[in-house]
Amino acid sequence: MAESSEINLSGKKALVTGASGGIGKHIAIALAKRGAQVVVHYGGNAEAAEEVQQEIEKQGGEAICVQADLTQADQIEKLYDDAEDAVGTLDIVINNAGVPGGSLLTDLDLETVDSLIDVNFRAVALSLQQAGKRLNDGGAIVNISSMLGTRPLPGTSVYSATKAAVDVLSKMAAREFGERQISVNSLSPGATLPGMFGRGTAEKQQAFADATPLKRLGKAEDIAEMAVFLVSEPGRWINGSVVTADGGYSV
């Protein structure tokens, strides 16, 4: 595998959803560090998104912030319109935005189910629809999934199901977009900080670290470097895959 520090994405235009914090923030920064011009999508936290943009610019990169409510189909289309207006036709899309939530099946409430499906699945499907129509030939798409999509834990039923669905979407999109040389993969993190797992207790975090062969939790930078590789030329032959990045937890 090529050193990710040597990867050159100069001239590439990238959209990262949910890039105002957590894993998305670090993916946006990592792409910009390799020369990509990055559209930093955010849902509601404009200040956090602007901080990501400023950090990228301080490092000599280029970024612009674009707001969209991914629960609204027309806003997903507008997100792509705004991104193209700002930077031109996209080469890279990282579908990172997601929401946590869940309970035991017997305790599910409809509001949580709808929220998880709307953001974690429906928004990804509609984003892929736009990306499939709009990306430059030879582009790359990475959908941020979760190890819970293949190894669900009690209390994560619907969340895990949405991430499993994202893995299937990635495989089908790879089939459908392949004629245009567009690669599509799922990147499936394990317990990672900062990220959704940061909402867990210190005891829960330590238990996951202890259960991982490397005896630590993942860092957002770990996932960002994998995303960079998957959209780069050295990573082009990986396509239609679910790439697990969990430090060996699932072994």
CATH assignment at residue 125: 3.40.50.720
pTM over 0.75? The answer is: yes
Tell me what percent of the residues of the chain surpass a pLDDT of 70.
96
Mean pLDDT of the 103-124 span: 95
Residue of 42, 80, 159, 249 marked active site? 159
- Does residue 227 sit within a domain? yes
Q: Please report the pLDDT score of residue 159 as a whole number.
A: 95
In this prediction, residue 126 carries a pLDDT of 98
- Does residue 147 sit within a domain? yes
144: closest CA among 129, 158, 123, 130? 123
pLDDT of residue 52: 98
159 is catalytic: yes
Give per-residue pLDDT as tens, 26-35: 999 999 999 9
Q: How far apart are CA 45 and CA 51, in angstroms?
A: 10
Q: Kindly report the CA angle at 50 between 14 and 185, in degrees rounded to 5?
A: 30
DSSP H/E element including 95: strand 92-95
* Model pLDDT for residues 57-68, shown as the tens digit of each residue: 999 999 999 999
Band (198; pLDDT cuts 50, 70, 90): low
> Average pLDDT over the chain, rounded to whole?
93
pLDDT attached to residue 196: 64
Question: What percent of the chain is helix, strand and coil (3-state, nearest 5)?
Answer: 50, 15, 35
Structural domain includes residue 195: yes
Could you tell me the two tokens for 247?
């430090």
Q: Does residue 117 register a pLDDT over 80? A: yes
Among 69-83, 114-128, 144-158, name the one with the lowest average pLDDT: 144-158
The CA distance from 135 to 173, in Å, is 13
Does residue 127 sit within a domain? yes
Residue 192 has pLDDT above 90, yes or no: no
- Give the torsion through C-alpha atoms of 227, 230, 232, 234, to 10 deg: 130
Express each pLDDT in 126-183 by its tens digit: 999 999 999 999 999 999 999 999 988 889 999 999 999 999 999 999 999 999 999 9
Residue 62's domain spans which residues? Answer: 9-244
Residue 199 pLDDT? 66
Of 193 and 235, the structure prediction assigns the larger pLDDT to 235
Count CB atoms within 10 A of the CB of residue 149: 22
Q: How confident is the model at residue 1 (pLDDT cuts 50, 70, 90)?
A: very low
What per-residue confidence (pLDDT) applies to 2?
A: 47
Task: Give percent above pLDDT 90 in the chain.
Answer: 79
96 is a domain residue: yes
- Residue 4 inside a domain? The answer is no
Amino acid 84: pLDDT: 98
Q: What local confidence, expressed as pLDDT, does residue 195 receive?
A: 63
Assigned domain for 144 exists: yes
Work out how many domains the chain is built from and give that number.
Answer: 1
Q: Is 186 helix (H, G, I), strand (E, B) or coil?
A: strand
Residue 61 lies inside a defined structural domain of this protein:
yes
Question: Which one, of 68, 16, 21, lies nearest residue 44 by Cα?
Answer: 68
